[in-house]
């Protein structure tokens, strides 16, 4: 099956945006790419299918970088909307190397990257703009950077300034090329990149963000379990494996509450005050965790709506216990509808989001 081309275009545009927004640390991880698709309100399966089309990319650590088709388009001078390039920065790179060609000859013409950046800043060009000009021209094969030195790819002498080349092509081509997918991807990628360094969870997705909290809660050794369970939930199909979805969603609800019990009790808050939580964790019941998480007035974790959703999920999940089925459904247990499984995924997201919000209010030290 051919992936949705609209999603493929969006993900490609997102990778482009990462270079424009963060030229010193460009590219997106596969998980970041998936987040772009989800935040654009596409479904998990179609996002993964489209993301898997991103295999053939320039290698850079674990990041996906623009593919050859994108770089070919970048190499064709044309005005774009939105325009994210500062051509004063592009011109400065070329003019500085032109000067080196005239001074040192074509074979020896090169400039130190740090010196180039400082010269740009001294001329009022933002650092990000000059870094973009360097990596943009490097990716498109116009420059080579090695050991911190930048030079022209081919020893062809003095070159025309990028703004002059752009003016010629723009005159022939007319109106700027409107980048619709880029416009859509830009704010999403901007937030994802900012999350790398501003102290917020790297992912806006609650299940991914909670994994980052486990270390501070003292349960870093359970990150792998959390990640595996989250991955299995996302890849389980609501139509073909609805029971698996229910079980996995309930496991994450139970896990997210279990991992904050100790923290809440250490702070002497209103949640999890029952003496039942003095016992070994294996004796804790998911029903009690949910009920207690909704208690404690202004220190409660769950509101009444989320509590009710969690209780519906728990009841549906109990069909894995044959004894309870015999007791509650003596005439036979009803089939699980796909919408119940989809609701289970939503419930897990909502419960974990409430836990994250609570942790922002009562952060672990």
pLDDT tens-place string over residues 99-125: 999 999 998 999 999 999 999 999 999
Q: Who wins on pLDDT, 55 or 276? A: 276
pLDDT at residue number 49:
83
Range from 179-183, 192-196, 244-248, 327-331 carrying the lowest mean pLDDT = 327-331
pLDDT band for 56, please (50, 70, 90 cuts): very low
Buried/exposed code over 118-155 (b: 16+ C-beta within 10 A; e: otherwise): eebeeeebeeebbbbbbbbbbbbebbeeeeeebbbeee
Determine the distance from the C-alpha atom of residue 287 to the mean position of all C-alpha atoms in its chain, rounded to a whole number. 33
pLDDT at residue number 137:
96
Query: DSSP per residue over 122-143, as a string?
Result: HTT--HHHHHHHHHHHHHTTSE
Judge whether 211 and 226 are in contact, CB under 8 Å.
yes
Can you tell me the mean pLDDT for 276-289?
93
Can you tell me the mean pLDDT for 25-35?
88
Q: Is the four-CA dihedral 29, 206, 2, 190 of positive or negative sign?
A: negative
pLDDT at residue number 202:
64
Of 175, 202, 188, 173, which is closest to residue 41 (Cα–Cα)? 188
Of 348, 129, 131, 128, which is closest to residue 255 (Cα–Cα)? 348
pLDDT at residue number 258:
97
Per-residue DSSP letter, 235 = H
pLDDT at residue number 326:
77
Q: What is the pTM of this model?
A: 0.64
In CATH, what number does 84-173 get? 1.10.10
pLDDT at residue number 284:
95
On the question of pLDDT at 60 being above 80, the answer is no
Q: Helix 338-361 vs helix 242-266: angle between axes, to the nearest 10 degrees?
A: 20
pLDDT at residue number 66:
92
pLDDT at residue number 3:
65
Q: Who wins on pLDDT, 338 or 363? A: 363
Can you tell me the mean pLDDT for 190-201?
78
Tally of CB atoms within 10 A around 98: 18
Query: DSSP per residue over 156-218, as a string?
Result: --S---HHHHHHHHHHHH-SPEE-HHHHHHHHHHHHHHHHTTSSS-S-SSHHHHHHHHHHHHT
On the question of pLDDT at 46 being above 80, the answer is yes
Count, residues in the chain: 365
pLDDT at residue number 201:
62
Of 8, 339, 49, 17, which is closest to residue 193 (Cα–Cα)? 17
Q: What does the alpha-carbon distance between residue 142 and residue 151 come to, in Å, rounded to a whole number?
A: 9
On the question of pLDDT at 58 being above 50, the answer is no
Judge whether 83 and 176 are in contact, CB under 8 Å.
yes
Tally of CB atoms within 10 A around 37: 25
Judge whether 288 and 295 are in contact, CB under 8 Å.
no
Give domain limits for the chain. 84-173, 206-361
Tally of CB atoms within 10 A around 297: 8
């Amino acid at each position: 099956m051919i992936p949705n081309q609209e999603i493929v275009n969006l993900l490609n545009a997102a990778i482009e945006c990462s270079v424009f927004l963060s030229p010193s640390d460009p590219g997106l991880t596969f998980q970041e790419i998936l987040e772009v698709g989800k935040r654009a309100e596409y479904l998990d399966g179609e996002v993964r299918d489209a993301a898997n089309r991103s295999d053939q990319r320039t290698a850079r650590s674990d990041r996906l970088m623009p593919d050859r088709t994108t770089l070919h388009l970048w190499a064709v001078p044309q005005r774009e909307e939105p325009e994210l390039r500062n051509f004063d920065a592009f011109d400065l790179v070329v003019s500085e190397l032109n000067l080196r060609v005239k001074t040192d000859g074509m074979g020896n013409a090169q400039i130190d990257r740090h010196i180039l950046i400082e010269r740009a800043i001294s001329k009022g060009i933002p650092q990000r703009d000059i870094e973009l000009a360097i990596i943009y021209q490097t990716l498109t094969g116009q420059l080579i950077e090695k050991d911190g030195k930048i030079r022209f790819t081919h020893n062809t002498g003095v070159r025309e300034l990028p703004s002059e080349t752009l003016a010629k092509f723009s005159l022939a081509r007319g109106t700027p090329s409107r980048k619709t997918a880029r416009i859509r991807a830009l704010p999403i990628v901007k937030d994802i990149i900012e999350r790398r360094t501003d102290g917020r969870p790297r992912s806006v997705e609650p299940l991914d963000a909670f994994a980052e909290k486990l270390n501070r809660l003292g349960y870093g050794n359970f990150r792998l379990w959390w990640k595996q369970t989250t991955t299995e939930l996302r890849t389980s199909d609501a139509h073909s494996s609805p029971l698996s979805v229910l079980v996995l969603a309930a496991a994450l609800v139970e896990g997210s509450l279990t991992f904050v019990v100790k923290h809440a009790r250490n702070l002497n808050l209103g949640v999890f005050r029952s003496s039942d939580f003095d016992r070994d964790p294996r004796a804790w019941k998911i029903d009690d965790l949910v009920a207690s998480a909704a208690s404690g007035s202004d220190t409660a974790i769950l509101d009444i709506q989320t509590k009710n959703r969690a209780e519906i999920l728990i009841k549906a999940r109990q069909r894995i216990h044959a004894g309870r089925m015999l007791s509650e459904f003596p005439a036979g247990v009803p089939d699980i509808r796909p919408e119940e499984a989809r609701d289970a995924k939503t419930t897990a997201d909502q419960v974990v989001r409430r836990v994250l919000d609570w942790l922002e209010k009562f952060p672990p030290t």
